[in-house]
Amino acid sequence: MKFLSKVVQPFIKCMHCVLSVGPMPSHIGFIMDGNRRYATKNKLKQVAGHEAGYSALLSMVTYCYEMGIKYVTAYAFSIMDLMTEKFELLCRKDSFFNGYGIRVHISRNLQLLPQHSRDTANKLMASTVNNSGLLLTICMAYTSTDEINHAVEKCCQEKWVKNDGGIISLADIEKRMYMKIAPDPDIIIRTSGESRLSNFLLWQTAGSYLYSTSALCPEIGIWHLVWAVFNFQRYQLFQKKKNKHLK
């Protein structure tokens, strides 16, 4: 990955200079879909498809790091598609994260995982906790409905313990969300040509720009990221003109 960074770094810096003329996103979310289809398409074993997908994800994290993006959130797999071997693939990359000074946070319901996987997740977070670079949030054993349900339950439990009959505010709920660690995403990039969010950050994406590419997860590259940011900037300009016109 270091070699890849050195090869594309000048290009990324050039693109960053061009894009920085417009508003730059601080937070990009990725719905990485299509590993199995990639494996079938290329007559590979499924594990090879997953490995290629996670290599692509790490490349995208590298590109975001080089472009100065502060937050990246990856929807690797949901509660409905829980495979612990996928998680193990990602957690073996702790040397990569530390090499770039990337802090890793697992936004999750880890109680759904086996103890070994919970230990692996906690070890990965602990090994990167002091890093001050980009914050990578991995949505593991996650759905947005579970996150919202968890936050509301926490609010109700705390109100009951305190014998507080007051109302539950939006701020109360947001403070108890798994994703309270990062601001709302500016862009959501989805692979495989899908345009749905698939229960990913439903609470946080009301104002996000959704960019969908037909590329499968292992096929995603720097141009997809550049094009997503460029279209986000066009969208921001349109919204600014629209709001000005309404005033």
pLDDT of 76 strictly over 80: no
pLDDT digits (tens, 9 = 90+) for 127-137: 999 999 999 99
Same domain flag for 155 and 43: no
Q: What is the mean pLDDT of the chain?
A: 86
Residues 208 and 167 in one domain: no
What are the tens digits of pLDDT across the range 204-228?
999 999 999 999 999 999 999 999 9
21: pLDDT strictly greater than 90: no
Amino acid at 33: D
Kindly list the catalytic residues.
33
Same domain, 86 and 137: yes
Confidence band for 10, pLDDT divided at 50, 70 and 90: confident
Which residues contact residue 202 at a Cβ distance below 8 angstroms, ignoring those fewer than 6 apart? 144, 145, 148
If asked whether residues 88 and 210 sit together in one domain, one would say yes
Residues 130 and 169 in one domain: no
Whether 53 and 63 share a structural domain: yes
Q: Report, as an integer, the average pLDDT of 68-83.
A: 75
Averaged pLDDT, 154-175: 87
pLDDT band (50, 70, 90) for residue 24: very high
Same domain, residue pair 114 and 162: no
Q: What tokens were used for 113?
A: 């995982």
Q: Check residue 7 and give its pLDDT.
A: 61
Same domain assignment for residues 106 and 96: yes
- Does residue 225 form part of some domain? no
Q: Which domain holds residue 166?
A: 144-177
One domain, residues 40 and 82: yes
Same domain, 118 and 82: yes
pTM score, two decimals? 0.88
